Copies of this chain bind each other. A is one copy, B any other.
Amino acid sequence: MEKVQLQILGAGSAVPTKKFSHPSQVLSLREKVFMIDCGEGTQHQVRRFGVRVSRLNHIFISHLHGDHCFGLVGLLSTLDTQGRTGDVYIHSHPELEALLRPMIAFFCKGLSFNIYFEPFSPGVSEEIYSDRSLSVRSFPLKHSVKSSGFLFKEHEKERHIKPELIKYFNVPVAQIPLIKRGADFTTEDGEVIPNYQLTSAPTPPKSYAYCSDTAYTEKFLDHIAGVDCLFHEATFVQKDLPAAKKTMHSTALQAATIAKMAGVKQLIIGHYSARYDDPAELLAEAKSIFEPTDFAADGKLFTF
């Protein structure tokens, strides 16, 4: 089974701490690398943790607060000095291109690759990326500026053939792709062998949802229902709920409530306020509601 790997590059929030840098993470699946958010210092973290960026072509920016995108131009510059040739696509709310194009034009002259901005609308849910293996959907969060969550989801996979039965019924090789996609098989004698006899259920497609920054809201539950892994921001503990409300962030308890309601398999909390030295308290709070919770930390790897 193909594994999905998530590496946290920055588990902090607006003010970086000695432990936790600005938000950024990379999701690796099917030989591709996707970056989500790119706070200042992301290029440092890429180097510090040895992230392989040769296959990084798509960067998704959740919203236009500096701590989620100030690392972009620096990252692009450094990719260039390292002789990169593959193009880079930046998926973001529309305003970002006008802000960064002059910087890129001035500071990244003669880039060895192209940079394309792929704007998407923050107000609706839409498919913003698709390839042979997976798609990415955006959906609105609830924050002090327009903010978007992302759902990475593999396409439905092919059914697994049962080799011994394929052999038993003398299925011609040419028909196997159809059978993997669910077709029945008709023997030379005209007998119809139903697909379920020849195949077993496909490997379930993997899915990952990213929700940061957001206040507590249930309106995106449908989008994240049942995902293999949910990253949900947990900027505060519940006793600091007033601060969470004021800044339109979530508490760890709220993040866990969302995870539980959405029936996700695993929750990762992160985006901690600089006021907390240690995420232990946040983790304990989330676990009290939703046991399969883990905490983000700079460089930490998750596989699912």
Q: Which one of A16, A47, A99, A108 has the highest number of Cβ atoms from chain B below 10 Å of its Cβ?
A: A16
- Whole-angstrom distance between the Cβ of A271 and the nearest chain B Cβ: 14
Beyond A95-B106, A99-B106, A107-B65, whether A44 also contacts B47 by CB under 8 A is no
Say yes or no for A205: interface residue by CB 8 A criterion: no
Is A170 engaged at the interface, CB distance under 8 Å to the other chain? no
Q: Is A165 in contact with chain B by the CB < 8 A criterion? A: no
Set B15, B16, B73, B102: member contacting A70, Cβ < 8 A: B73
Of the listed stretches A74-82, A228-236, A258-266, chain B binds A74-82
Decide if B66 touches A70 in the complex (CB within 8 Å). no
The closest CB in chain B to the CB of A105 belongs to B99
Residues of B within 8 A of A95 (CB): 106
A40 interface residue (CB < 8 Å to B): yes
| Residue picked from A40, A99, A102, most chain B C-beta under 10 Å | A40
A47 to B16, CA, bound (A): 8
Q: Is A21 an interface residue (CB 8 A)?
A: yes
A98 proximity list for chain B (CB < 8 A): 102
Contact A78:B43 (CB < 8 A) given known A64-B107, A70-B73, A107-B64: no
Task: Let me know if A71 is at the binding interface, CB within 8 A.
Answer: yes
Taking a contact as CB atoms under 8 Å apart, the answer to whether A78 and B14 are in contact is yes
Task: Give bound CA distance, A40 to B102, whole Å.
Answer: 18
> How many of chain A's residues touch chain B, expressed as a range?
20 to 34
Q: In the assembled complex, which residues on chain B have CB atoms less than 8 Å from the CB atom of A102? A: 98-99, 102
Give Cα A95 to B99, complex, Å.
16
A21: chain B residues within 8 A (beta carbon): 44
- CB proximity of A177 to chain B, nearest CB, Å: 46
CB closest residue in chain B, given A66? B107
A102 to B74, CA, bound (A): 17
* Residues on the B chain within 8 Å of A65, using CB: 107
Given contacts A15-B82, A40-B43, A103-B103, 18 further A-B contacts (CB under 8 A): A14-B77, A14-B81, A16-B43, A16-B44, A16-B47, A18-B47, A40-B40, A40-B41, A40-B44, A40-B70, A40-B74, A44-B44, A64-B106, A66-B108, A70-B107, A95-B106, A98-B102, A99-B106
Q: Give residues in A with beta carbon < 8 Å to B.
A: 14-18, 21, 40-41, 43-44, 47-48, 64-67, 70-71, 73-74, 77-78, 81-82, 95, 98-99, 102-103, 106-108
